[in-house]
């Protein structure tokens, strides 16, 4: 008899539990969304402090940017052509030397004596030839004898020249004017042919080798101006001109090798230095420029916040920020060119955009501004 009431009570408890669970799952979510909406509504009515800049046009030189390395116009690792023992060294490491300067002499051994012997044989051949020519004129010897004497004289003179060349190879000289590196040999050391002795680099002018994508070929040519910056002198820009463009495009990277020539009067740039290169292309144009921090890059388009005046219901003037789509162009340093979407004189938010939405009330504090240098050179950290 009591089974039916118990079943009813269980059903009531079960339904109550299900209802409570349903409220906790769905009701709490609705409640949370309502509270968040109220919070955001209250937050949107707050006045947000931002930094701004007045949009203005400035001359903009289209540029191509790349990185490259400094190379010497002439550079070589000097070595001996023949084996021998270092007899004397005639230079100091790091010295500047003229073309033809004697750097290292290898031990001569018996080479001078052999040369003297050959010179004596050549002198005798010359005497014999001259005597037989006079005898031939007197018809005392045959033409064949004169021809033989002439050949013997030429052979003797050639042997002298060969020995002189062998002796000259034992004197290593600078093939061009430049700066020597660090000495790698010592007196008394035996050198095999090709053993490195010292490096020699011609440092003025220097080459700057870099690469540009093949799409840029129509914009560059020999004689075009380039600006070069190196980490060693961050405050200085070196000027040069394009001197050569490789006629072959690399099939792997689709880049073309470009070489510029720069004057290096103070010998500041050294071969192997890393450098950033800027190539000026086209004619300067006027663009609106903004700090890159002012642009919000989104998948649906790039935007900025424009600040304007608004009169509220109480007749009080307020500043309001509205999001505007813009079209951006090239960048230079900390700046970006804006080709459409805003006009000169518009007040653009440069800092504090993350807390803004369309129609947010703002106040302006420009005591701190983001970087806006067209020639920014970040420190090498």
What's the first-to-final CA gap in the chain, in angstroms? 88
Task: Give per-residue pLDDT as tens, 73-82.
Answer: 998 889 888 8
Q: The pTM is what?
A: 0.61
pLDDT of residue 29: 55
* pLDDT given at position 131: 86
- Nearby residues of 330 by Cβ (< 8 Å), 6 or more positions away: 60, 62, 63, 336, 337
Omega of the bond leading into 205 within 30 degrees of 0 (cis): yes
Instruction: Express each pLDDT in 213-227 by its tens digit.
Output: 998 888 888 888 898
Tokens of 363: 């106040």
Structural domains in the chain, CATH included, are 46-58+286-364 (2.40.420.20), 64-72+203-280 (2.40.30.170), 76-191 (2.40.50.100)
Overall average pLDDT of the 90-95 stretch: 88
128-154 pLDDT tens trace: 888 888 888 888 778 888 888 889 889
Distance (Å, rounded) from C-alpha 302 to C-alpha 296?
A: 6
Write the CB contacts of 125 (distance below 8 Å, at least 6 apart in sequence): 149, 152, 153, 155, 156, 157
Task: Of 330, 320, 251, 269, give the one whose Cα is nearest residue 52.
Answer: 320
Residues 288-344: tens digit of each pLDDT:
888 888 888 888 889 999 998 887 767 788 888 999 999 988 887 788 889 888 899
| β-pairing verdict for 296-298 and 301-311 | antiparallel
Question: Is the C-alpha dihedral spanning 260, 265, 268, 270 positive or negative?
Answer: positive
Q: What are phi and psi of 332, to 5 degrees?
A: -150, 120
């Amino acid at each position: 008899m009591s089974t039916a009431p118990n079943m009813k009570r269980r059903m009531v408890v079960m339904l109550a539990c299900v209802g409570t669970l349903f409220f906790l799952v769905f009701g709490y979510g609705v409640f949370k969304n309502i509270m968040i909406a109220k919070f955001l509504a209250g937050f949107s009515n707050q006045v947000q402090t931002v930094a701004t800049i007045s949009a203005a046009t400035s001359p903009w030189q289209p540029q191509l940017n790349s990185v490259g390395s400094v190379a010497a116009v002439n550079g070589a690792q000097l070595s001996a052509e023949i084996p021998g023992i270092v007899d004397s060294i005639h230079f100091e490491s790091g010295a500047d030397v003229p073309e033809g300067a004697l750097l290292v002499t290898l031990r001569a051994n018996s080479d001078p004596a052999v040369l003297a012997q050959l010179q004596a044989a050549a002198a005798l051949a010359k005497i014999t030839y001259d005597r037989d020519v006079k005898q031939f004129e007197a018809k005392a010897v045959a033409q064949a004898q004169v021809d033989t004497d002439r050949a013997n004289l030429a052979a003797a003179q050639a042997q002298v020249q060969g020995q002189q060349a062998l002796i000259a190879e034992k004197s290593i000289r600078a093939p061009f004017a430049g700066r020597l590196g660090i000495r790698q040999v010592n007196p008394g050391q035996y050198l095999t042919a090709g053993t490195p002795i010292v490096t020699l680099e011609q440092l003025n002018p220097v080459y700057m080798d870099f690469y540009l994508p093949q799409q840029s070929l129509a914009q560059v040519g020999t004689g075009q101006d380039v600006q070069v910056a190196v980490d060693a002198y961050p405050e200085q820009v070196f000027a040069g001109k394009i001197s050569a463009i490789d006629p072959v495009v690399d099939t792997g990277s689709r880049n073309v090798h470009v070489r510029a020539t720069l004057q290096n009067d103070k010998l500041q740039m050294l071969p192997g230095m890393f450098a950033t290169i800027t190539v000026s292309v086209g004619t300067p144009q006027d663009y609106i420029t903004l700090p890159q921090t002012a642009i919000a890059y989104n998948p649906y388009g790039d935007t900025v916040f424009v600040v304007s005046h608004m009169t509220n219901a109480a007749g009080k003037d307020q500043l309001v920020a509205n999001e505007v789509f813009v079209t951006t162009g090239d960048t230079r340093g900390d700046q970006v060119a804006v080709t459409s979407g805003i006009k000169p004189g518009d007040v653009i938010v440069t800092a504090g955009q993350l807390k803004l939405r369309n129609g947010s009330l703002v106040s302006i504090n420009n005591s701190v501004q983001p970087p806006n240098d067209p020639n920014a050179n970040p420190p090498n950290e």
